[in-house]
Every structure is written in structure tokens, then in C-alpha cells.
Structure 1
Amino acid sequence: MIKKIISVKGIGKFDQNFRALELKKFNIIYGENGRGKSTISAILRSLCSGDPGHILERQTLGSSSNQEVRVEIDKLGIAIFKDNRWNKLAQSLEIFDSWFIHNNVYSGTHIDIDHRMNLHEFVIGEEGVGYAKQIDECEIELKLISKDISENERMLNNHASRADLDVSNFINLIEEPDIDIDHQIENKIMEIDILKKAAEITKKPSMDFTSFPRISRSKLEDLLATTLTEISKDAEKNTLDHINRHMDYKDEAWIQKGVEYIKDDKCPFCGQTVFGSELIKAYQSYFDNRYILLKQEINTFYNEIKNDLSERNLSTIYKIIISNNSLAEYWNQYIDFEYNTIDLDLIRDNWDLLRSRIDKYFLNKILNPLEPQELKSDILVPFRLHNFDIERINEYNSLIKEINIAIESKKKSVELDDLSKKQNELKVLNAKKIRFDKDIRILCKDHELLIEKKKQLTDQKKTARAGLDQYTIDVFERYESKINAYLEECGAEFRIDQIRTGYRGKRPSVSYLLSINETQVDPSNSETHAPSFKNTLSDGDKSTLAFIFFLSKLENDPNLHDKIIVFDDPISSLDSNRKNFTQQQILNLAQKCKQIIILSHDLKFTRDVYNDISGEVCTLIIKRSKSNSIIEKWDLETEARGDYFKNYDTIYDYINNGPLDDNHKREVAKTIRLVLEGYYRIKFPKDFGSKEWLGELLKKINKANESEPLFSMKDDYLELKAINDYSKKFHHDQNPGADLTPNDAELKSFATRTIKLIND
């Protein structure tokens, strides 16, 4: 039992002004959040485990004091923490706090392997840890023997690599006695030389790609739409009419040449004047250079298209695809691939259709160069079909590329098939020549002995693990049964199933399932949107489960009577039913253990526990002292007197059970202000007088500076003002119409906000 906390210096909120505290069997320490309750818990955890980290991480900020703690413990003497270590430990401590939850049960919303390993160690207790220690010792020896094996294999690997084998296969080579290994190697080399001749499959060609002409529709549109506005239609018509009446189309070039020789308006043939001749003017306009160039451009582009869409090009495509069809049939015997050929009849139809439509447009343009033409549906559709064919050919070529890669791979594998078999046989022969050298035989023998030793240690570890497994089965059966009894008692709507030991990690771990509505849920499930610890339990359920894990282990502890049990804020996130359950379990434990220490920020909880305790109780309060904290004796019995707790219960019962009638609702509305005034008189006894109203407290909070206690209430100012404004409507001293009946929904909202303000 801890008799006295003598001194605490340089840790958290406790520095120079710590006063020695004498403890009793049952101890209640009240303190607001942030005053130092968790620091006391951390000091006691360090005292139990010997881990200085719990204290070192709480160095008092801005203090030059060396960290030091002195605790007097019954039968142990004074335990001192100094120079980052304890001179003696109190290992009979069991502590339930946020550290226990976050390290043994869950962090935030998830459970990881460290939680399950720590919980396993906590549950199995000292005897189970003894089994685990045997496993750890085997693990240490196995690490050492594995290191020796690695060094041995490193040396063997230098020789195995010469044989192009891994160490395992190198060691396991079988010696053939009375065999001339050198002669065997020579014969194998000859066999390999014979196999290096090329086979038919390596000569068979891969498949060919095919190309497909791409006709520029935009260029065709531009050319067909081209005209020369300076050249009259009449000139063109008169010239062509004259040629048709008196000559044939071949004579057009002759006339063109003659026009070039006209000088000074005289005919180059007869010398007569041609001045004013309408026919000569038509000739000169018709044979203008731009007109000639346009006709040349039309003919040139037409010839290019006829070449692209020639029968020769189409025949080439036919030959390639027909050849590929044959090759595909051949290669499919050796390679698994899907080959989709091209529909040549469809290609032919689309090809001919486009070619015929283009011919039609070009022939018309050649006959009427100055007549602009627009592409219509009769050619636009063939163009689209042609583009579809281009896409099909591109997809076909992509397929051919993939198939050719597979063909080349197959050629290489075929080339190496039988050859690789013989080469592997040669490799084995060369490896045996190295393996059965005298010095290497010794290394291999050492490896065999090390492996045997490792096997023995592994068997010992398995035996120890089997012992631990059997022990944990017995423990976990009792543990699971007790957990579920507690869960049922506190009204939880889930159960625990299949508590097991696992070995997925450095140490044994515990696994279990949640049973909710007869459905099993793996709490460690990390799959997105899958049922897990994160999304199937409320915050209250999670806190309750952690508390029950702790309780169940203690209930099965044969040394419970010697235990010092510490609870740091055990009712966080709990509803009234589970708070009552928690209170009752703590009281039950008090009858069975050596000592109980409760740290809490909840006035009602401390009052309720205090009222139900039979026997002597030490009640203490952690208070602010300038920038630090001190712990003083606290007359909880006196604090519990008066109307505060009665008013608190009135509001609390209304929230949970609803109103009895309109008078009851008016009573609750009035009580809201009274309970807040009672609470803040206890919290700020020197700043809020017994005759002052809540409105006056609000004024003081609004004016408070950082050095004053009421400054800490700044964040709650607006919420407190809103609640006060609501409640004062129902007091005659502040509102003549105070007899009005509150709206139940609104009243419940403000009542809930009031309790939350107090509990937070």
C-alpha cells in the first residue's frame, strides 16, 4: 500500500510547492482537467514498470528543477526517482487510465498489432509471462544460431555462385562415387554443340505489318471548291465550243501555243489583225497561267489519289493479310494468342466505292475547272468507311506487334529448349566438381550441424509455445466468460467471442471477435467500409470494453488482495447507466484489493462514490497555485452538502426520463441557473460569492485578464450566457412572466447543454 506521496518536483504542474500526502485504503483525488491528475497516474505507472519515460516526458516547462519523486510504500520503504531512475519498484500497482487504453486496447478508432501484443501480456499475468519468457529465450538463441548460419552460408555462397546455384541446392547435390566427372563434363559439352543447330521454328518468319493509304479529305474539299473569279465563264464556254465544233480536244494544246505567239494583235499564222476578236479574247482568258496551274494541280492530286487507291496497293494489302493468316495458323500451334483477321471483301468494297466516288468528282472538275464543287453524302459516307478501315488496319497492326513479340520469345525458348536442358546437366556436373572438394565438404558439414541445432531450438520454442497456448486457453476461457458477464451487467449490446493467442509479431498477441446481433465482427479489420472496431462501437462502448478488459483481468488475478489499483477518469464517454456500473465495480474491488486510488474531474461521480464507501476515505483536491498545481485535503462531505447535487440530479433525471407535467418543466428551467451557480461557486470559491447571480459571474468572466482564474472560462462565455439568458426567463426576480411553460424540446436542449458544460 502507498502510505504517502512525500514529494514531487519538476514533473508536469508539480514543482517546488508540493506538500506531502498521506493516503488511506480508499482515496479520491478530484481535479479539473489540465491540473495534474494524469501526471500522478504517470508517476505511479513509472513506479510500477521502472520506465522513466513516463516521467521524463512530463518535465515542468520553464522550470530548472531536476525531476524527483519520493513515495513511501508499506513493507518496501521509500521509493525515490532521481537521476532518471527509481531505486526500487512497486510492481503490485495496476493502473487504468488513457495510457492503458491507448497501449493495450485501442488508439483513436483502430486496433493494431501492438495493442494486441500488450493486451496479451496484461491478461496472462506473471505466470503466463514466464512461458512467454521461455519463448523469448529461444528466440534469442535462434537469432544467434541464424547469424552463424548466415556467416557459414556467406562462405558457401562464394563457391555456390561459381556453380551458378543457390546455397541450398549446392549443399544438397548428391555425390556419385566411382564416376569420372571430368569425362562426363567433356561428353556433355559435345552434346550441347550438336543441339546448337538451327531448327525449323527458328527460321519461320514473323508476321508482317500492312499499310493503308490515308486520303486527305480536307485537301480534296479545298481543291474542288477552288475557282478563278478573274476568268469568265463565257471565255471558257466559247473556247470549248469552238474546239468541239472545229477540232478535237487534242488540239487544245496547239491553240494554247498559238496564243503565246500573238504579238501586236496580229495573227502568228496569217499576219492579219485580231484586234477586237471575241474568240481571241476568249482564248487569252482561257489559257491564263493561273488557269493552267489550277488544271495541273487538279490532275496532279487526282493522279496521287489514283496511285494511293490503285489496284497494286490493294493487292499488296491482300498478299500481306493472306500471308499473315497462314502464319497465324502455323504459330497458333506453338503460341496461345487470339488472331482476328481483316475482312478483305469489306476492304475491297469500301476501297472501290471511295475510288469511284473520287473519280466522279475529279472528272467533273477536270471538265469544269472553274466550277466549285462541294462534297456531298455520296462521297462523305465512303470517306467515313475508309477511315473506319484505317482504324481497323491500325488495330490489326497493333495485334501483329504483340503476336510478333510472342513469336520472337517462342523462337528463343525453342532455341534454348533442349539446349537448356543439356546445359543445365553440364551446370550440375560442374557444380558437383566444386561441391565435393575436400575443404568445401567441411563447410557443408558445419552447415548441417548448425541447421540441426536450429531445428532443436525451434522444437523447444514450439514446446514452450504449446505450454503458453494451453495456459492461455485456460486463462482466456475464464477471461472471456468474465468479460461477457460484465458486458451483460452494464447493458452492452455486444459480446466477445473466440479470444485466442496469435503469433503474428515479435511477441504473442491476443485476437478476439465482437458479436453484435449474432454477427461476428473482426475489430482489427482494416478493409474500407467493412464492419470493424471503428464503425461498430460507440465511444462509450469502446471505453466500456477497455474498462471491462481491465476489470476481468483483476477478477482472475490470484494476487488481487495485494494489488494497489488506480483509476484515472474511468467514466469518460459513459452514459448514466454505465457510470453507475463503473462506480459499483470500483466499490466491489475496494473490498478485495489492498488499496484504491481514484482520480476524477467529475464532481458528481466523486460525490456518489464517496457516499457509497464504507470505511475511512482520503479525499484530496488538485488546485491551481499560480502557474502550477498543489494537492490539498478536501472536505468532500461538506462540499456534498447543499442544493448543488440535488439540482444536478433534477436536470439529469429530466434529460433521461422526460417531464412529469408542466410544473416539472418549469422547475427544471429554474434549476438550470441554480445548478450552474452552485457548480461555479465550488469551482471558483474566491471569485463567485454565494449571493451573486450567474449574470454577475458572466460580467467578471468578460473582464478577466490572463492572470485571473476566471480567464479560463473565456471559451465558455458565449455558451454560458446563452444558457443564462434562457433560464432567467423562468425566475420571478428577473422576469414578471416567469410562470410560462417551457417548450419541452427547447428545455431538453438547454438542460443537455448545461450538463455538458459542467461535465466538460
Structure 2
Amino acid sequence: MFLKKITEIKNVGRFKSARIGGGNYEPFTLIYGGNGRGKTTLGAILRSLQLNDPKLVTRRKTFKATSDPSIGLLLDNGQVRFSNGAWTGSNPDIQFVNENVHGGDQVDVEHRRNFYRIVVGATGVALAEEVDKLDADATAKQTEIASEKKALEQHVPKGSKLEAFLKLAADPAVDARIEDTKLKLKAINDSDALKTRKLLSVPALPALPEGFSALLAKGVDGVAADAAGRVKSQIAKHGFHEGGETWLAEGLKHATGENCPFCAKTLSNNDLVDAYRGYFSEAYADHKKAITDMGEALNSALSAAAALKCQQAFKDVETDAAFWKGYCDHDYHAPEAAARIVAEIDALLQAAKTLLQHKTDAPLEAAPESADFIEANAKWSSTVAELDAASAKFATANQLIQAVKDGSAAANKAAVEATLAGLQAVQKRHTEPVLALAIGYQKLLDEKKALVEAKDAKKKALDTYDEAILGAYEADINKILATFGAGFRLAQCGKNYVGKVPQSTYCLRFDTSDVDVTRNGADDPGFDTTMSAGDKNTFALAFFLAQLKRDPDLSRKLVVFDDPFTSLDDFRRAMTAKEIVRTGGEAAQTIVLSHDKFFLDAVRVLIHDVACTTMQISGTSSGSSIEPWNIEWEVKEGYLQDHMLLQEFAQGRNNNAREMRTAMRPLLEKYIRYRFPNQILDGKWLGDMLAIIRGDASHPLTPQYNDLDDINQFTAPFHHDPNVAFSDDEVRTYAQRTIAIVGGC
């Protein structure tokens, strides 16, 4: 992988809207930047690309930026971009000096894990990271399991265990069984009250007296239909009124012959006498009595008391049914018709009495049913049918009720309570929210089991790999430590799984004494007391270099060194530069980031036959930019830098006349001080120097006095007031005279 050029960085750290200068980068690219300018940000950008981890960029978004980070990188295989929070393009293989093997004064567990990852190389790291990830996933899964278990345990019935609760099988009929068991338990609790509670029953429904309709149509055989009318008319005609019928009936008893006992006239073929005889016959008398009796029967059968009693009976049954409903599902429902009994019976009674009165008034005439009677009778018949249908359920209901009565007396309350608790547990286990929680909990258990099994398999593969690599790697690291002149070596390199994640176990050997880095006893020699800061950094760098040397794919990788020489002495610093060039020369590209320009120059001068690009991260009040960097000029001493700038201006190679106006006097002052050391006291400037030259006719600078004086007088106003007008050509002329004095033209 080769980074040809950074084309754009916006809103990332110090790179708010970075200017990007220069051409393509070379196999060696050295980047200079002061602390806080953005070297670490560049490293984070490359790491984000390598890992395809957008957070490494998005978390570095420029403060107060109004738009999201945007990055453009030109690789050897094409352009890649970061926009809208994601990378577009391939994820290259980049190697970083990124694994700490110690932290200050100690080597803790995490450092030993990092150390281990470096030792085992890319293959081992991949296996170790898989083990780590599987272990972390299993641990995270266990946390989820604990959380789900806690949520589930809130639903476990008192006295039960979660495992047993979860194993309860589903029962499709559990709801009905629970309700049935609840009714049984309630019956047991109320058994005393049940003993005295009656079954469902109502009295017979009120009805018209038997033969009512037949009586209305009935006459008397042999009695003329108008006999009663003629008798009444005769009584009224003769003013008999009270006692008239009695007088006629008594007299009729004496008309035994063919002649009238009063007038002796013949009685044969006398219609009136025939009417008397029919009217006062025994059959007729029985007929009238039947009508009278029917009236009494009607009043009794359809009395208000009978109707009210019947209606109340249905209300009582409704109350009893509701009571028993709490103990069994008897399926009896109070009919709406019960509320109509009194009113409909009264209506029927009144209509029937009206008909019977008509019959009483004309006993021998048929009394046809009136519209009121027909309607009242039809309504009551419909009501009777509805009430009979409801009453027909009494038998079944009473069987269930009687069973409740019998069962409540004989049941074992504790057993029924236990049954109910068991059924309720089954119901709870297989209804929400427990159902979903249980499914999720089992899923988590299965997932953790799979993770543990996968971790064990990877761990076994890692152990096999480590046996082959650890010894060889230890030897490589010790060779590098010897190159750096380190007074210690790596010894007893191994690993363990304390804390589940693989970690290194090793000692630092000083001559024949081994220091176990895992021991932190106050009285024992340790990492903090035996290693200097330079030793510690050498220790970490040696691991990285050893990893690079053993990497079979190094020729295809980009290697990044970020300030690799911190706290190293001159010798180790020089060796670091050599190792970077030696090892980096095998990589596709090596990028070195540093805040020390002289170290970068030390790397540069060691590079032969390989192209090298030098860049710098420059900073302004608005942010950082990436620009070409003249490292040769930057590492020169200040006088030489000023001399080069002024010479370039004098020769027309730059046009910065404004800056050169004030550069001539300081250059001349440094020149005179360097040429005549210990002759010019501190605090003396060009004017003072001219006075010394004037006072010494034999002074070596006497021939240049006039030029020095002219330059002094020309530049003096600019040092006091930078806004004094000037001419570019005039400034260039004096610059040429200055270079002529100090030499170089």
C-alpha cells in the first residue's frame, strides 16, 4: 500500500480547512510538526482508514465546525474519501508503532497483553484478537444474561426456582383450568354459605282458567238464544224489578197443566212460556253458575298477587343464579320477559274480565274474543314461551350447583390451592412479558454457549501457534536490543490466560539476574527501579522493529513511525534513525512523524537510492495545513538561514522586499560578532560597531565602513517605523551590498 498524497482534510482536529501543498509522496515521507499541530490526528486518519472505523475521525471533529469531517487520500490503487461519516474505498494494510508494552513505571496486565500481541505477530494477533473478542463477547453476553435473569426472576412464583419455572410446559387449556380451580377454591372457602343456598326454581306461571275460551262460546241446549232477553223484558214491562225472576220461577212451578193457573188460557205454543221454561231450567242455571265460577277462577288465576309472586320469583332466581355463577358456569341467564309479568298478566286479566262480563250479560250468546284480549293473550303466550325456555335450563344448572355443594364439603383446600398455584405458574410462564423474556433468555444462553465453544477452539489454535513463535521472537528482540546497546535482554518469554485474555509472561535479564515484570512488591527490584525512560522506550521500539523484520508482507505495507525516539540518548537516537531506514526500506512506504527536525534530518541523510519527500504541518490561528518543507534550510543555524534568504533576494530568487528591509542590519551585526569574537560587547549594535571602526584607522573593516554606514542609515527608519515607504529595487541594491560585505556573491 502506498500513500501518494493527502488531497483534503477538513474539520478534523486542527485541520479546519487545511491547505494541502506539494506533489506526490515518496517511499520515504518525513513529516515535521510541532506538538499540538496534528501529527497524532494524521495517524488517527490512517488508522481509521486501515480499520474502517469512522469513530477515530468523527470523535476528532473540529470544535465548533458547522459541517462534518471530510478527507481525501490518493493511494496507489486509487482515491479514497471520508465523507458523511464513512470511508469509501479499500482498507489498506498499515503498520503502526501503536502497542504500548509498558506505562510509565510499571507493566500492568493490559501492557502484557499488548506485548503478547506484538510477540506473536500478525497471525498470532489475529488469533489473539479473535480469542479476546470471543471472550469479551461471552462476558458481555453473560452481562446480558444476568440482566435478563434478574428481569425474569421478578416473575418467578414465590418458593420456585427460575430453572424449574422455565421448564414448565405450555397448556392450551390453562386459562379455563385456572378459572375452574378458582371457582372450586371459592366454593371451599364459602362452603357454609353454600349449604343453605337453594337451587334454582320458580312457581308455575299464571294462566287463563281451563275452559275459559270454551265457556265464552257455550250456550244451553233447548234454550232459545233470546230467552234471557225476553224474560228480562217481561220483568221490566210489569215492573217486577227486584224479586221478579224469583216470582216467575216460583209461579212456573204451578203451571203443571195445559192451562195457565192465573187466566186458564192454554199454554201450548206459547213462546213466552217456553222462554220461561228454558230460562229457569237446571241446565241454564248450571251455565250461569259456570260463568260466575269462571269469574272467580279468573280473578284467582290472574290476580295481581299471583303475577307479582311469579315476577319476584324470577328476580330471586336471577339473584341466586348470579350467586352460583361465582362457583360454576351454569349457563342460566335471567330472561328479559320476567320484568313484563305483572303488566302483561294485568292486561290479560282486564281483557278476559271484559269478555266474561259480556258473557254474563248474555249467557246464551257466544262472546267473541276482542282485539284487546287477542293481543294481551298473544303477548303473554310469547312471554310464557321465553320464560319456559329460561326455566328449562334449571335442571342442568341445578346439577352443577348441587355438584358445587357436594364438592365444597369434601374438597381438600390445600390441594386445590397448590393446583391453582401450579396452573397460574404455567400461565405466567407462557404469557407476556415472561414468554418474550424467557425466549430472549434462552437465546442468550445458546449464544453464550456458542461463543465459549468458539473461544476454546481459537484458544487451542493460538496455543499451537505460540509454541512455534515465542522462542524465535525472543531471539530477534534481543538482537535489536544488543544493536541499541541496551544493558538488558528479554528472558523466559511465555504466556498465560489470567483474566481469560492471553497475556505475556517474561523477565528482563540484567547480566544473570532476572526481573519478573509482573512483580510489584515494594522490596523487590522491578520494572520501575531497573529501567530508565530511555530503556523503556528502547524496549517498546525493539518489539515493533522485530515485528516488522518478521513480517512476510512488509513489502506491501505502509509503516508509520510517530515520534519514535522519545527519551533516547544520542547513540540510541542515531541507531533508531538507522533502524528506521533499514527496516523502512523493506516496506512499500515509510512515514515518519516527528516534532524534532534534526532527528528527521538524521533519518534523511541515511536514505540512499530511495526517493524521500519532506513535509511539514504548519500552524496558523485558523488551524493546521500540510505543505512542502525544506529540511536542509530548516536545520541550518539562524545566521545561515538569514544569509540564504537575503542572498536569494539579492539574486532575484524571491521578492520579499518588505521582510528584507529589516534583515540586513541583524545579519551584519551577527557577521561582525562572529568575525571579531570577544571584541564587541553585549548590547552593542551596528551604530556602536561603526563608532568602533571609525576610532581605529587600522580596523579590518575600515574599507567597508562607507558601505556599512550607508546600509545602517538606509535600514534604521524601517526598524523604528515599518510603514516607511520603500522601493523594491532600492532594497535589493542594499541587499546586494550587504551580501558583498558578509560574502557569498
The interval holding the TM-score normalised by the smaller chain is 0.3 to 0.5
Based on CA coordinates, which of the two structures has the bigger radius of gyration? 2
Give TM-score scaled by structure 2 length.
Answer: 0.46
